[in-house]
A and B are shown apart, each in its own frame.
Chain A
Amino acid sequence: MARSRTIWPVWLRRLSQTVFVLLFLYLFLQTVYHPVNQAGRGVDLFFQFDPLVLLSSWLASHQIAAGLLFSLITVAVTLLAGRWFCGWICPFGALHNLFSCWRSRRAKDRIASSAYSPWQKSKYYILFGLLLACALGLNLTGWFDPFSFLFRGTALVAYPMFDDATKSAFGWIYQADPAIGRFHVTSATEPVYEVLRRHVLATAQPHFAGTVLIALLFFGMLFLNLHRTRFWCHFVCPLGALLGVVGKNPLVQIQRNEAACNNCGACVADCQGGASPETAGGFKPSECFYCFNCESACPHKAIKINVLVAGGKQ
């Protein structure tokens, strides 16, 4: 597999993912008593653009919190253009993207862990089951909703651990007070600690009950990426499934030039969604995140993502 140069839409996507991960972290840190009985504005922004939350709470309670109507924008965009949300916006997806980078680098393994698997349909069954349960008045969506999963894992597990580790580390440095000649290390670390304490760390170390299960699921899902590219997004995510159903006939399509293609498999090895960009019948729009990796990876420029309707009989 010859490697070609990364094309600009890939860099744009990475930038977008970075921005939304930072936005998530910013809103996360704003979710505090700040400054007086006032949480930061719009801290539930990601949930408001999550149509799964809208649909499930409407099905289960027959009521809609007004803010959730923003998610109709997500639905509209997906209907027209496909699952860009998963590839460009979702911070949980970006996290899985990052962890997927550490899977085996051998070409054979990379293809095997990124090729389409029929098990990817399981997320649609999970979605269907959750929605039926909602229709019976029981809303278990939060167990699987990506933003709930991410926020819960961050707030109850990762953040308290980070808080503890940071405070301990700076505490040790302060107590040991190592010095190089007349230079004290604390004169460099204490200002950093001050900034962290003011803007990042919790006022008091947070403690939560029964977080072992949440931690196992959260970290487990991240480590499953070593086995399968974006495991969560391929097999579990009910929001991804919902967007897959909505965006299964999008305006934006992957076009494959069969004459130029020599079936080297470079596009499959880098595919984020398991959308099989290599098949003759056309890619799977319900699985594609429009990450542009296939187009970027193709050494023969045989793949293009285009605003056109391709494939099938016209």
Chain B
Amino acid sequence: MTNVFFRWIKHFFRPPEASKIGVTRRGVIIGGMAGIGSALLIRSSALGENRTFSPELVRPPCSVAEEEFLSKCIRCGECMKVCPTNALQPAFTEGGLGGLWTPILNMKLGYCEYECNLCSQVCPTQAIKRMALDQKKQVKIGMAFFDKNRCLPYASARTCIVCEEHCPTPKKAIWFQEVQVMTPEGSLTTVKQPHVNPTLCTGCGICENKCPISDRRGVYVTSVGETRNPKNQVLLDSYADGGGYGN
């Protein structure tokens, strides 16, 4: 037994000719240049590391900052498989070439379930950080905005409170202003016009998902206000405490 071991040690350091992989200098240079080149090209492109603040680049909750995210995500699709609402989708161009097949939320296909942190449970590389459900509920993944040209109480003088009813935060992030508006028949009527409270909104997107204006929604979520990026903020107070997670 020891004999075999010593022979292996000897063999290990002085292997036979056939053990050689035989990589060629040309191949190593081409492979290396392709690796370095694509890294530099992708990093230096406008979309690299989300320098353009792509509004569609809404990452799963508990995701780490974009640069770190791209260094960890292996695009395995575990999060997309586990997402109970089918909201998590493989990105195509939303995050630039370097973000191909990384997870983003599509609020028309699904939404981020408030009582769920499954994506953070299954991510093998912690690109989506493991976080307790209570903590996850504090994380903002973006923010909702109303499109007043399409939202019914604004655009058509009709009552609609679907978004507010679905809003999952303990204190609703959507609030109403009662306004007298004119109907197409010329009479006055009172409607409740919804607004987003930016300090409460987590960007979960259930409002966008449930909005009855099916094709282009009257309310939609973009990535601004996301906890993981201190630069992508709307509110001055989020700058004041530094944004990001561990402040």
Contact across chains for A44 and B122 when beta carbons are under 8 A apart? yes
Q: Which residues in window 104-150 of A have CB below 8 A to B?
A: 118, 121-122, 124-134, 136-143, 145, 147-148
- Given A209-B90, A244-B21, 18 more A-B residue pairs with CB atoms under 8 Å apart are A53-B124, A57-B72, A61-B68, A65-B125, A125-B30, A126-B31, A136-B36, A136-B40, A137-B43, A140-B98, A209-B89, A282-B17, A284-B19, A286-B19, A286-B21, A309-B8, A309-B11, A312-B18
Q: Which residues in window 94-109 of B have CB below 8 A to A?
A: 98, 100-101, 106, 109
Contact across chains for A137 and B39 when beta carbons are under 8 A apart? yes
Chain A residues contacting B72 (CB-CB under 8 Å) are: 57, 60-61, 63, 139
Contact across chains for A31 and B82 when beta carbons are under 8 A apart? yes
Contact with B along A277-314 (1 / 0, CB 8 A): 00101111110000000000000000000011101111
Contact across chains for A121 and B18 when beta carbons are under 8 A apart? no
Contact with B along A34-72 (1 / 0, CB 8 A): 000111000110011000010011001101010110000
Chain B residues contacting A132 (CB-CB under 8 Å) are: 32, 35-36, 39
Interface size on A, residues (CB 8 A): 78
Contact across chains for A251 and B98 when beta carbons are under 8 A apart? no
Minimal beta-carbon separation of A133 from chain B (angstroms): 4
Chain A residues contacting B34 (CB-CB under 8 Å) are: 125, 129
Between A and B, 14 residue pairs with Cβ closer than 8 Å are A37-B133, A44-B78, A44-B123, A47-B125, A129-B32, A137-B70, A140-B39, A143-B75, A143-B100, A152-B77, A155-B77, A248-B21, A279-B18, A307-B4
> Per DSSP, are chain B's interface residues mostly helix, strand or loop, or mixed?
helix
Q: Which residues in window 1-47 of A have CB below 8 A to B?
A: 28, 31-33, 37-39, 43-44, 47
Question: B81 an interface residue at 8 Å Cβ cutoff?
Answer: yes
Say whether, besides A204-B86, A312-B17, A67 and B101 are in contact (CB < 8 Å): no
State which of A39, A138, A209 has its C-beta within 8 Å of the C-beta of B38. Answer: A138
Contact across chains for A129 and B35 when beta carbons are under 8 A apart? yes
The 8 A-B residue pairs with the shortest CB-CB distance in the complex, in nearest-first order: A312-B16, A125-B31, A129-B35, A142-B75, A142-B74, A47-B124, A60-B71, A132-B35
Minimal beta-carbon separation of A60 from chain B (angstroms): 4
Minimal beta-carbon separation of A291 from chain B (angstroms): 18
Question: B215 an interface residue at 8 Å Cβ cutoff?
Answer: no
State which of B35, B90, B101, B116 has its C-beta within 8 Å of the C-beta of A128. Answer: B35
Minimal beta-carbon separation of A28 from chain B (angstroms): 7
Interface size on B, residues (CB 8 A): 66
Chain B residues contacting A210 (CB-CB under 8 Å) are: 89-90, 92
Contact across chains for A39 and B35 when beta carbons are under 8 A apart? no
Contact across chains for A145 and B35 when beta carbons are under 8 A apart? no
Contact across chains for B31 and A128 when beta carbons are under 8 A apart? yes
State which of B28, B30, B75 has its C-beta within 8 Å of the C-beta of A148. Answer: B75
Say whether, besides A44-B78, A53-B125, A307-B4, A140 and B118 are in contact (CB < 8 Å): no
Chain B residues contacting A204 (CB-CB under 8 Å) are: 86
Contact with A along B159-186 (1 / 0, CB 8 A): 0000000000000000000000000000
Question: B212 an interface residue at 8 Å Cβ cutoff?
Answer: no
CB-CB nearest in chain B for A141: B74
Chain B residues contacting A131 (CB-CB under 8 Å) are: 35
State which of B18, B35, B74, B116 has its C-beta within 8 Å of the C-beta of A47. Answer: B74
Binding site for B on A (CB under 8 A): 28, 31-33, 37-39, 43-44, 47-48, 53, 56-57, 60-61, 63, 65, 67-68, 118, 121-122, 124-134, 136-143, 145, 147-148, 151-152, 155-156, 159, 203-204, 206-211, 214, 244-245, 248-249, 251, 279, 281-286, 307-309, 311-314
Chain B residues contacting A206 (CB-CB under 8 Å) are: 86
A28 to B8, CA, bound (A): 39
State which of B8, B77, B98, B115 has its C-beta within 8 Å of the C-beta of A156. Answer: B77
Contact across chains for B43 and A136 when beta carbons are under 8 A apart? yes
Minimal beta-carbon separation of B18 from chain A (angstroms): 4
Contact across chains for B30 and A65 when beta carbons are under 8 A apart? no
Minimal beta-carbon separation of A138 from chain B (angstroms): 4
State which of A60, A142, A207, A313 has its C-beta within 8 Å of the C-beta of B16. Answer: A313
Question: B126 an interface residue at 8 Å Cβ cutoff?
Answer: yes
A248 to B38, CA, bound (A): 29
CB-CB nearest in chain B for A280: B18
Question: B207 an interface residue at 8 Å Cβ cutoff?
Answer: no
Contact across chains for B82 and A130 when beta carbons are under 8 A apart? no
Chain B residues contacting A249 (CB-CB under 8 Å) are: 8, 11-12, 15, 19
Q: Which residues in window 189-206 of B have CB below 8 A to A?
A: none
Chain B residues contacting A309 (CB-CB under 8 Å) are: 4, 7-8, 10-11
Chain B residues contacting A312 (CB-CB under 8 Å) are: 11, 14-19
Contact across chains for B122 and A31 when beta carbons are under 8 A apart? yes
Chain B residues contacting A60 (CB-CB under 8 Å) are: 71-72
